């Protein structure tokens, strides 16, 4: 499914979510170059987009934002072993640090920052996974403890559904942060959280706000 979006000639439609783009100039070549470098689109798709949106850079920017989200969603759909086998762990870590942390914590049962060696503690039963996912979601402020406990109680008889809901807390938090403009994120003191959890999204907001790429 993922490769189909990025290698076919079909360009997905814009979503219904309204996003505000700054009035500053947007460089199409810069947008497309960044998207290619981030593995969000292929060079072939970039060429198609350049032709199709050469007179509408702001619409192109919104579309590329959606492609970036789809790439992260694809990475998050894989488990730790699949990401490792495909050589995608570093990409996930760079683009969505908290998503990487979630995968690591679920797989090894420990916070990746405090683990010196990746060994042991990788029980794979669903009860263990749910416990780790809940701990991680609460620890990273993706869900408050009361809501997490309520979720566990409500879906205790459907562990697969519960596991999916807990996995989605990280993405839901990211989507919430990405629904704000740069100015709103700044006002609410959420820019650092977005930068830490979803660097690619932070870069998108920076580009929309200032019209230039964010340099670390």
- Mean pLDDT across the chain: 80
Structural domains of the chain, count: 1
Which residues have a Cβ under 8 Å from the Cβ of 136 and sit 6 or more positions away? 101, 102, 105, 106, 142
Which residues have a Cβ under 8 Å from the Cβ of 75 and sit 6 or more positions away? 83, 88, 91, 92, 95, 96, 99
The DSSP call for residue 125 is S
Does residue 100 lie within any of the structural domains? yes
Does residue 121 lie within any of the structural domains? yes
pLDDT digits (tens, 9 = 90+) for 110-153: 777 633 433 444 555 788 889 888 998 898 888 999 999 999 99
Residue located via tokens 């993405």: 171
User: How many degrees, rounded to 5, is the angle at CA 100 between CA 8 and CA 158?
Assistant: 90
| Tokens at 190, concatenated | 């959420």
Does residue 96 lie within any of the structural domains? yes
For residue 213, name the pLDDT band (cuts at 50, 70, 90).
confident
Does residue 197 lie within any of the structural domains? no
Does residue 105 lie within any of the structural domains? yes
Does residue 65 lie within any of the structural domains? no
pTM: 0.56
Does residue 214 lie within any of the structural domains? no
Residue span of the structural domain in which 145 resides: 80-177
pLDDT digits (tens, 9 = 90+) for 142-193: 899 999 999 999 998 899 899 989 988 988 898 899 999 999 999 999 999 9
| Tokens at 88, concatenated | 């995608």
Does residue 1 lie within any of the structural domains? no
Task: Please tell me the distance from the alpha carbon of residue 196 to that of residue 135, in angstroms, as a whole number.
Answer: 19
Task: Please tell me the distance from the alpha carbon of residue 173 to that of residue 141, in angstroms, as a whole number.
Answer: 9
């Amino acid at each position: 499914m993922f490769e189909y979006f990025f290698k076919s000639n079909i360009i997905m439609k814009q979503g219904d979510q309204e996003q505000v783009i700054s009035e500053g100039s947007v460089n199409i070549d810069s947008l497309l170059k960044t998207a290619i470098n981030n593995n969000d689109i292929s060079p072939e798709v970039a060429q198609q987009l350049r032709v199709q949106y050469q007179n509408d850079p702001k619409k192109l920017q919104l579309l590329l934002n959606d492609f970036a989200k789809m790439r992260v969603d694809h990475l998050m759909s894989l488990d730790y072993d699949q990401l490792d086998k495909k050589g995608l762990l570093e990409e996930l870590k760079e683009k969505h640090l908290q998503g990487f942390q979630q995968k690591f914590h679920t797989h090894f049962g420990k916070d990746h920052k405090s683990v010196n060696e990746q060994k042991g503690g990788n029980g794979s039963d669903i009860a263990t996974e749910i416990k780790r996912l809940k701990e991680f979601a609460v620890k990273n402020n993706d869900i408050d403890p009361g809501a997490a406990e309520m979720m566990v109680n409500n879906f205790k008889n459907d562990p697969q559904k519960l596991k999916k809901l807990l996995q989605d807390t990280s993405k839901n938090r990211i989507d919430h942060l990405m629904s704000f403009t740069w100015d709103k994120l700044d006002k609410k003191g959420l820019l650092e959280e977005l930068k830490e959890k979803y660097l690619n999204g932070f870069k998108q907001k920076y580009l929309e706000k200032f019209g230039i790429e964010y340099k670390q």
